[in-house]
Structure 1
């Protein structure tokens, strides 16, 4: 980590008005970490898929990934900005890797058997303090019947986190209610989801890359007349909806995909003004050497080196 805050990072932090110096210091820990430190771009490793999909579906393709230490070391060796995981995963390496990589404690989770679109609170702000985490992470599901309960939960957690100087990252994934399957990734819906996360006080917003589909009938005329075929333009619109870029916006890698698609996503996020990628399965489900090479190239893309 570079000790001197760069002008790029100062500019980002200055946009967080009414934010304590302690929270800004933890945001700076993430923004100044690793190979992208000081650039304003981020690559974060999230490993909450064991909760969401189960260990076999998540790790059997690369058995070394069953070990929580594997993910800490991957994030450190790749020069990433932060490592995000549920309570048990972080606890399993907290002493060994203390101070080597900023961590984001994922505070709610679900599983693939649940019939409701909801998540349980699985960790506390006190856990984040004990583990030295720079931020808490939390998923909301705009559209779900349980959305309002999730909103009230993150309001309480975020208030407590801010009071002890810890930043808040919100995963905002539209799902449920009247949304169609195509609507979950629609441009208008993704922009709305990012805006709601910003309104809830998120310091870092995590959304999925949107398609060109427009879901809400009330929005079709508003988006008509503009060519949304380029992913970079769709990213730009989501960033615009995140308080006109006043909030850090990172985009998830989603399900495993080919390398070319991963690299193109990074270029489009960069060109659309997004702050980076939060990429899990597309890295830890590959052999370690391949994952490191992929992450190194993603970092080069964000540094405008290719």
Structure 2
């Protein structure tokens, strides 16, 4: 079942779940902030490119964003529901801004200084650190399909459970990373069937919000030759003109 975002999203989606009252309040804080307040939609400014793509390459076009305060100011001026960034960026301005815009602390990163590069997300801090700086939520990425995905899955499941105990919401970037997901000229990292299953795994570890790339094709399982399928996945649950991935919350 797909729930359309609305002002009563919390009552429709989470009220019967095992999320405690403080988690629901944190979700409400996110949903009631910024220009999309009370619509059920969220616009979050995520900035961790200084880790994932190197700071120089990311901020050279706009050097003012080497200063963490300007990143938070951009989120406020843009009317975002929240700002998602690193322990270092948000921690350096937490006392000044954590009460002005919801903070979402990114727990893990794929730092680009390891050579050769690998598809691995590693923890950069703890859930308790994020809670201490006043964050309403924590975020994380899992590279589903990568060699380290099962370790990442265990780490983030445990981190999300603790975040919920402390009353924070959880956001998961459910991305795919595997060189074999490219077949010839076709890249199946954004295939509807593969990303839909990644979403399913993400909500299974109780991610409250899932970030996923919009599908650009379908049939990844069939093209790569793994997993299990039912042809109705492609004939009834999706089509060439309407790619649908159904997930639970």
What's the TM-score bracket when you normalise by the shorter of the two chains?
Answer: 0.7 to 0.9
Give TM-score, length-normalised by structure 2. 0.87
Deviations 1:129-165 (A, max 9, x none): 1111011111101111111110110122112111111
Partner Cα distance (1:101, 1:34) in 2: 8
Partner Cα distance (2:49, 2:21) in 1: 33
Instruction: Find out whether 1:88 has 2:99 as its counterpart.
Output: no
- Deviation of 1:18 (Å): 0.8
Partner Cα distance (1:224, 1:120) in 2: 35
Match of 2:167 among 146, 165, 168: 165
In structure 1, what is the equivalent of residue 202 of structure 2? 197
In structure 2, what is the equivalent of residue 105 of structure 1? 105
Give the aligned CA root-mean-square deviation in angstroms.
2.0
Partner Cα distance (2:181, 2:232) in 1: 19
Structure 2 contact 171–209 (Cα < 8 Å) conserved? yes
- Deviation of 1:58 (Å): 0.9
Instruction: Find out whether 1:216 has 2:221 as its counterpart.
Output: yes
In structure 2, what is the equivalent of residue 298 of structure 1? none
Partner Cα distance (2:62, 2:232) in 1: 45
1:65/1:220 Cα in 2 relative to 1: closer, same or farther (>3 Å)?
farther
1:180/1:113 Cα in 2 relative to 1: closer, same or farther (>3 Å)?
farther
1:274-293 → structure 2 map (5 Å cutoff):
none
Structure 1 contact 169–203 (Cα < 8 Å) conserved? yes
Aligned length: 233
In structure 2, what is the equivalent of residue 228 of structure 1? 239
1:196/1:75 Cα in 2 relative to 1: closer, same or farther (>3 Å)?
same
Partner Cα distance (1:69, 1:207) in 2: 27
Gaps of 5+ in 2: 1-5, 223-227
- Deviation of 1:6 (Å): 4.6
1:145/1:102 Cα in 2 relative to 1: closer, same or farther (>3 Å)?
same
Structure 2 contact 98–135 (Cα < 8 Å) conserved? no
Where is the helix percentage greater, Structure 1 or Structure 2? 1
1:112/1:220 Cα in 2 relative to 1: closer, same or farther (>3 Å)?
farther
Instruction: Find out whether 1:134 has 2:139 as its counterpart.
Output: no
Deviations 1:232-258 (A, max 9, x none): x32xx23x2x21xxx3xxxxxxxxxxx
Structure 1 contact 46–83 (Cα < 8 Å) conserved? yes
In structure 1, what is the equivalent of residue 225 of structure 2? none
Give TM-score, length-normalised by structure 1. 0.71
Q: What SS does structure 2 have at the residue aligned with 1:141?
A: strand
1:1-306 → structure 2 map (5 Å cutoff):
6-14=7-15, 17-114=17-114, 115-176=117-178, 178-180=180-182, 182-217=187-222, 218-219=228-229, 221-225=231-235, 228-230=239-241, 233-234=242-243, 237-238=244-245, 240=246, 242-243=247-248, 247=249
- Deviation of 1:220 (Å): 8.0
Greater Cα offset, 108-117 or 124-133: 108-117
Deviations 1:39-92 (A, max 9, x none): 000100000111000112211111222111111011111111110001001012
Gaps of 5+ in 1: 248-306
Q: What SS does structure 2 have at the residue aligned with 1:169?
A: strand
Greater Cα offset, 5-14 or 157-166: 5-14
